[in-house]
Amino acid sequence: MALLLIKNGTIQSPYPMGKMDILVAGNKIIAIDSNISEHSVKTLDKDAAIIDANLHWITPGLIDTHIHFNGAGGENGPQFRTPPLQLSSLIRAGITTAVAPMGTDGFSRSLRELLAKSRGLENEGITTYIYTGSYSFPSVSITDNIITDIVLIDKIIGTKIALSDHRSSHLTVEELRRVTSDTRVAGLIAGKAGKVEVHMGSEEQGLTLIEKAVEGTEIPLTQLRPTHVNRNRNLFNQTIDFCAKGGVADITTSMNDAAVATSECFDQILNSKAPLSQFTLSTDGNGSMPVFNDAGDLVRMGTGEVSTLLTALRDIIANDKNSINDVLPLVTENAAKRLNLEKKGTLKTGNDADILIFSPSNLELQYVVSQGRIMMQEGELVQYGTFETPDSTK
Amino acid sequence: MDCILIKESEVFAPEPLGKKDILIIGDKITRINNFINSKTLKAAGFNVEIISGKNCFAIPGFIDQHLHFNGAGGEGGPLYRTPPLQLSTLLEAGITTAVGLLGTDGSTRSLRELYMKSCSLELEGLTTKIFTGSYQIPSPVLTSDITTDLALIDKVIGLKIAYSDHRSSHASIEKLKEVISQSRIGGIISGKSGVVMIHIGEGPSRLKPLLNVIKGTDIPIQQLAPTHLNRSEQVLEESIEYGKQGGYIDLSAGVSRKYGFSTAVNPSEAVSVLFQEGIPENIITMSSDGNGVMTINDPVTGNKKPLMAPVGALLEEFVKIISSGIPLESAIRITSTNIADHLSLFSKGRIIEGKDADIILFDENSLSIQSLVVKGEISIINGQLKKKGIFE
């Protein structure tokens, strides 16, 4: 079995650790130290890969907690169903852990297909999870209900639901409380996060349903995580208050023009009472991005870009290089904590070897290591999905 | 990070490799070499735990493909339900991979409970899988059907049924074909073996229905794993014919005269019989049937009496096999390698670089377990148990 030694990189664990070497064996980080002997590593394994990361940034692999890797959409008809993602698009985006929900269409789209796709991507080399449910209520499930899904299916770690959206089921506070309770109990039984992933729409009530759902119960506010909270200014302002009160929220990096840009969200958080630790970024990648007019008619259709997690990082760091210390946890450590992914999100001994190496000038991705395997080398893909070739991914 | 260095054991992969050092990093066998220097490891940043393998065989951990780890029985009423096993029982028996299943009682016993028990043993350090179904046809399932169980539930690798037994459902050959097909398709879809573990009883049809299924379809005979084939001379006799057609023969270590199964052929003796009959060693497997129970009427008292198959029987029979003059390599294949191959457990059953670090250090003099490494964790050292289950 091959060893991998990454020399002299500037480590962001996501926090700054200075210049260090990282040793990887199998799918784990074995050691992070100031000087790991290259000679010793070569003696142990003459085929060991050595990467010189001098003057490069090293970060944990990105965790995208909301990405439609098996396709989404279907609003306005079947021609708007986005196709499944292939491995290369995730690797190019630096995503080594992907968590997928279903969207509007929980009826013709299938959780079983989502589960099979998640296993496929896992076999191809990244780490994946899924949410049960979809926008609608009662939640669709693979087994009897959302509880048995979370308990019996290894990859299911929470439930998806939509609120305050014209495409939601407009469920009542009591119904939302029930979904949250079921998800929480299932998480306790299974030893998983058991979080409710809440798609937020534009309806004026915004997050109040979430607050009402946990009011008067022992359920922590953090059991639900609203996403797409930068959909519009009002919702984001409300989110800042929500997170200052202990809530958690997720900002979508691929939102269209009407939304608050990720870098703007970041600045607003920094100037607020809401701690950064309450926030995560996700792509909503591969989701269809319909734009509706006031009458509720579809005006045009776009797709959530998988690469936007990286571009959002670049945008924020472009203003101030030091802000990497603040923003990187939002796509690594915070995301892992939110979903109880214990071996993910930080570079430390014993954790999964999901590692990115960036050129520092423009934050260009040079290496992607996922589960200890080099997937991208010197900016070029070296691993492909089962149905991809070097030509098909150009 | 810690690593484990096993020094100077006689390694059997199962093939004899000679005296080697074995390096374990994380849960994998990283390196096997004549000499691995612990100082080099320390220089590379490791904390090295050295285990002496002197006077020991290093062999792959046992893979028990028929273990009632969540309890079994219930024949004769609820008094005779065996309780779930605890981790230490499996470790002391050298079992590093266990496949759990239901038995006679697919009505009050639950596949969901079995699944959760398998998850809990896995979290405690072992590798576990389960078969869906029970003795009955139609099979009880976790989801909607056999194929879906295999396709959707990570731990389900195949199907359990019973045939030629008074406790079976006496399903028709057509029904038997159907359930075997469903398991096979589930295996194909999910990239698992989809093997059908078939409890064979004392019924006069014995293995004939299985041969009928194979004759009438193009399902390979290796899709099936008939078990308890040492339960009587007659069944063993037929299994010789079955084996000559290429079918796997699974013997039950816990079904021996020693444990009250009066008509059984002792498992290690059955291995000798199969060898003498020229059955290839790569289709002979042994499982414990551990924690399984059968209730008989005691001829003396007239009372009900449970016959238990102990978990440790696999280790006992392993020792008997090698003591009978059969090569160690063959005994390893029968208790580990062949099962890994049959069940498509690709990271198991061999001491080769890159495979899971499930290793028994077997004292070559006392023929007992000296040390045990399970998925890279030291579980027994110098004969002392180092790990326990949560409730032990």
Closest Cα partner for B13 from B351, B321, B245? B351
Task: Give the number of C-alpha atoms closer than 13 A to the C-alpha of residue A170, restricted to the C-beta side.
Answer: 6
pLDDT given for residue A319 in this prediction: 82
In DSSP notation, B163-212 reads ESSTTS----HHHHHHHHHHHHHHHHHHTS--EEEEEE-S-TTTTHHHHH
pLDDT given for residue B57 in this prediction: 98
Where residue B124 falls among pLDDT bands split at 50, 70, 90? very high
Element of type H or E holding A139: none
Q: Indicate the SS3 state at residue B295.
A: strand
Where residue B129 falls among pLDDT bands split at 50, 70, 90? very high
Strands A57-60 and A62-64: unpaired
Task: Establish whether the linkage from the previous residue to B220 is cis, with ω within 30° of 0.
Answer: no
C-alpha to C-alpha distance for A277 and A285, rounded to whole angstroms:
23
Residue in A with minimal Cα distance to B41: A40
pTM: 0.92
Closest Cα partner for B176 from B158, B203, B198, B149? B198
Amino acid at B144: S
Q: How far is CA A36 from CA A2, A5, A17, A24, A40, in A?
A: 16, 8, 15, 11, 8
Q: Indicate the SS3 state at residue B60.
A: strand
Q: What value does the mean pLDDT take over residues B362-370? A: 97
C-alpha to C-alpha distance for B330 and A302, rounded to whole angstroms:
62
Closest Cα partner for A222 from A200, A242, A251? A242
Is residue B253 within 8 A of residue B317, CB to CB? The reply is: yes
C-alpha to C-alpha distance for B261 and B267, rounded to whole angstroms:
11
pLDDT given for residue A225 in this prediction: 98
Element of type H or E holding A304: none
Region of A76 on the Ramachandran plot (φ > 0 left; ψ -120 to 50 alpha; else beta): left
- Please check the confidence at residue B207 and state whether its pLDDT lies above 80: yes
Is residue A331 within 8 A of residue A63, CB to CB? The reply is: yes
> From the candidates A36, A40, A50, which should be mutated to test the interface with B, based on the most B CB atoms within 10 A?
A40
Contact A116 B191 (CB under 8 A): no
Q: What is the ipTM of this complex?
A: 0.87
* Residue A362 CB burial class (10 angstroms; 0-12, 13-18, ≥19): exposed
Hey, which residues 153-172 in chain A have their CB within 8 Å of chain B?
153-155
Task: Give the number of C-alpha atoms closer than 13 A to the C-alpha of residue B345, restricted to the C-beta side.
Answer: 31
**CB-nearest partner of A30 from B29, B46, B112:** B46
Is residue B287 within 8 A of residue B66, CB to CB? The reply is: yes
- Please check the confidence at residue B311 and state whether its pLDDT lies above 70: yes
pLDDT tens digit at each of 394 positions of chain A:
589 999 999 999 999 999 999 999 999 999 999 989 999 999 888 999 999 999 999 999 999 999 999 998 877 788 888 889 999 999 999 999 999 999 999 888 999 999 999 999 999 999 999 999 999 999 999 999 999 999 999 999 999 999 999 999 999 999 999 999 999 999 999 999 999 999 999 999 999 999 999 999 999 999 999 999 999 999 999 999 999 999 999 999 998 777 999 999 999 999 999 999 999 999 999 988 777 788 888 787 777 889 999 999 999 998 888 899 999 999 999 999 999 999 999 999 999 999 999 997 788 999 999 999 999 999 999 999 999 988 877 6
For domain A3-60+346-381, which architecture applies? Roll (2.30)
Domain boundaries, chain A: 3-60+346-381, 62-338
The alpha helices in A30-127, defined as continuous H runs, are 38-44, 87-92, 111-124
Q: What value does the mean pLDDT take over residues B186-202? A: 97
Among B21, B64, B289, B356, the one annotated catalytic: B289
Q: Indicate the SS3 state at residue A263.
A: helix
Among chain B, residues having any CB pair with chain A shorter than 8 Å are: 1, 3, 23, 25-31, 36-37, 40-41, 43-46, 112, 115-116, 123, 142-143, 148, 151-155, 190-191, 353-354
Q: What value does the mean pLDDT take over residues B94-120? A: 95
Q: What value does the mean pLDDT take over residues B360-384? A: 97
Share of chain B above pLDDT 70, in %: 100
Looking at A18-27, A326-335, B76-85, B359-368, which range is the least confident one? B76-85
Mean pLDDT computed over every residue of chain B: 95
Is residue A291 within 8 A of residue A255, CB to CB? The reply is: no
**CB-nearest partner of A30 from B45, B115, B143:** B45
Q: Chain B residues with CB inside 8 Å of A29's CB?
A: 1
Q: What value does the mean pLDDT take over residues B196-223? A: 95
A249 part of contact set with chain B, CB < 8 Å = no
> Is position B218 annotated as part of the catalytic site?
no
In DSSP notation, A105-123 reads -SSSS-HHHHHHHHHHHHH
Task: Establish whether the linkage from the previous residue to A138 is cis, with ω within 30° of 0.
Answer: yes
pLDDT given for residue A291 in this prediction: 76
pLDDT given for residue B45 in this prediction: 80
Domain boundaries, chain B: 2-59+350-385, 62-342
C-alpha to C-alpha distance for B221 and B355, rounded to whole angstroms:
28
C-alpha to C-alpha distance for A161 and A167, rounded to whole angstroms:
11
pLDDT given for residue A224 in this prediction: 98
Q: How far is CA B362 from CA A83, A382, B93, in A?
A: 54, 42, 12
Q: Which fold has domain B62-342?
A: TIM Barrel (3.20.20)
Strands (E), chain A: 3-12, 16-25, 28-33, 49-52, 57-60, 62-64, 95-100, 127-133, 156-163, 195-200, 224-227, 249-252, 279-282, 288-292, 298-303, 355-359, 364-370, 373-377, 380-381
Question: How many residue contacts between A and B have a Cβ separation below 8 Å?
Answer: 82
A35 part of contact set with chain B, CB < 8 Å = no
pLDDT given for residue B80 in this prediction: 86
Q: Pick one of 2.30.40.10, 2.60.40.1180, 3.40.605.10, 3.60.20.10 as the CATH number of B2-59+350-385.
A: 2.30.40.10
**Which are the catalytic amino acids of A?**
284
- CATH no., domain A62-338: 3.20.20.140
C-alpha to C-alpha distance for B138 and B144, rounded to whole angstroms:
12
DSSP A154: T
pLDDT given for residue A320 in this prediction: 85
The alpha helices in B277-336, defined as continuous H runs, are 313-323, 328-332
Strands A288-292 and A298-303: antiparallel
Q: Indicate the SS3 state at residue A63.
A: strand
The alpha helices in B245-376, defined as continuous H runs, are 267-276, 313-323, 328-332, 338-342
C-alpha to C-alpha distance for B231 and B235, rounded to whole angstroms:
7
C-alpha to C-alpha distance for B121 and B375, rounded to whole angstroms:
13
C-alpha to C-alpha distance for B97 and B83, rounded to whole angstroms:
20
C-alpha to C-alpha distance for B249 and B269, rounded to whole angstroms:
14
pLDDT given for residue B34 in this prediction: 96
> From the candidates B5, B23, B24, B25, which should be mutated to test the interface with A, based on the most A CB atoms within 10 A?
B25
pLDDT given for residue A1 in this prediction: 55
Give first-to-last CA distance, chain B, whole Å.
Answer: 28
Q: Which residues pair with A159 in a beta bridge?
A: A132, A196
Element of type H or E holding B144: none
**CB-nearest partner of B44 from A28, A37, A119:** A37
Q: Indicate the SS3 state at residue A185.
A: helix
